[in-house]
Amino acid sequence: MEASVSLKKVGKVLNGRSVLAGLSFGIERGSIMAVVGPNDSGKSALLKTIAGFSKPEYGSVFIDGKDVQLRRIETASVVGYMPQRANFDSQLTIFENLQFHGRLYLMAPQLLNSRIASLSDRLGFREFIHDFPHTLSSGYQKRALLARTFLPDPHVLLIEEPTASLDLRAQYEVWDFLQEMRGSKTIIYTTQSIREAERVHDRLVIMDHGKVALDGKLDRLLENAGELFHFQIHFKKLSKELYDNMSKVTTVVSPSQVGEVFDFYAREREVFFDIMKLAIQEELVDYAADKVGLETLIMTSTEEPIR
């Protein structure tokens, strides 16, 4: 399938720190890509760089084959960017904000007004449309922000944390709305919520320190991760010596100590018994063993924990 957005060795440095480290990948037209990662992993920088208003230090971003830095006006007209926080003009009502945004994208007045009416209906904030942004709850601000992003009907959508600060019902409404766009719009969204990413995506990119740690469909990623198991053994007292001994077992992956709990991953179930042999003299409180899901996959792929 044709790539709608493609990155070629894109690198960005902020305050001497690499926030994007030579990223290269393409995103298929009409697909939904979830970008997951902990804070400061480069998710936001990635979206801003694709949108064209954050200039990469090296490499290029192409939208429909056009370089976003060299042909910014052309690419900006097909891209919609939604920031994490509502950034309305506080001196205008939501309706006036939407009108101004439509005019920025040179929309005809009739089309603009009908789009505002249909989007405010669809996203459920029509009754508040003549209110000022600061008088609305963050959930309604978010809905209005989403409407503003979709207003000029862009075919590439870059959305930061689409459901952050929304209640559960509103989250479902927003995801339903985005699902409707599947196939017709290329949507790239960032999230820290693993459950959201699991639910809505054609492709999943897990970022860590500006790099792509994992990239693909969830089932494929889990398949590639092989039979990865997550174990937690709760001791009455976990000494440093015991922890060190258990961590040194070569088949133990990502060991860590949380209080008196020894937490680790392994590719085979048998590793658990190897560990138990080392701890045979110790008093156990409890233990747990799970096959990994996305959450644990991310935990083992990134250095920082995410929720």
Partner 1 sequence: MTLFMAFLNRRLAQLRHRWIGELSLALLLPIGIYITLGFGLSGGIPKLQGVPQLGWLIPGIVLMVAFAGALIALFHDLFHNRGINGFFCSIYASPHTPTSTVMSLMFSMLPEGIIRSLLALGILQTLLGYGYPFFGQLLFLFLIALAVLLGGMVGLTLGILARDAVASQIAILLLLLSLGFCSEWFVPLNVFPTAIQPLLHVLPTSILVEMGRDLLLNQDSSPVLILVVLGTIALWTVVNSFLFPRVSTE
Rule CB under 8 A: which residues touch partner 1? 51-54, 72-74, 76-77, 79, 81, 83, 85, 87-93, 96, 99-101, 103-106, 148
| Gap between the Cα atoms of 271 and 24, Å rounded | 37
3-state SS assignment for residue 4? strand
Cβ nearer to partner 1, comparing 70 with 104 = 104
Taking the complex as a whole, the smallest distance from the CB of residue 307 to partner 1 amounts, in Å, to 24
Q: Which residues face 190 on adjacent strands?
A: 35, 160
Distant-in-sequence, close-in-space partners of 33: CB < 8 Å, separation ≥ 6:
27, 186, 187, 188, 189, 201, 202, 203, 204, 205
Positive or negative: CA dihedral 148, 150, 155, 160: positive
Cβ nearer to partner 1, comparing 54 with 257 = 54
Cβ nearer to partner 1, comparing 103 with 169 = 103
Query: Taking the CA of residue 106 as centre, how many other CA atoms within 13 Å lie in the half-sphere pointing to its CB?
Result: 4
Cβ nearer to partner 1, comparing 185 with 203 = 185
DSSP H or E segment with residue 140 = helix 138-150
Alpha helices (H) along 200-279: 218-224, 240-247, 270-278
Taking the complex as a whole, the smallest distance from the CB of residue 51 to partner 1 amounts, in Å, to 6
Taking the complex as a whole, the smallest distance from the CB of residue 149 to partner 1 amounts, in Å, to 9
Measured CA distances, 277 to 157, 229, 237, 274, 282 (Å): 53, 18, 16, 5, 10
Taking the complex as a whole, the smallest distance from the CB of residue 141 to partner 1 amounts, in Å, to 12
Cβ nearer to partner 1, comparing 71 with 199 = 71
Taking the complex as a whole, the smallest distance from the CB of residue 126 to partner 1 amounts, in Å, to 19
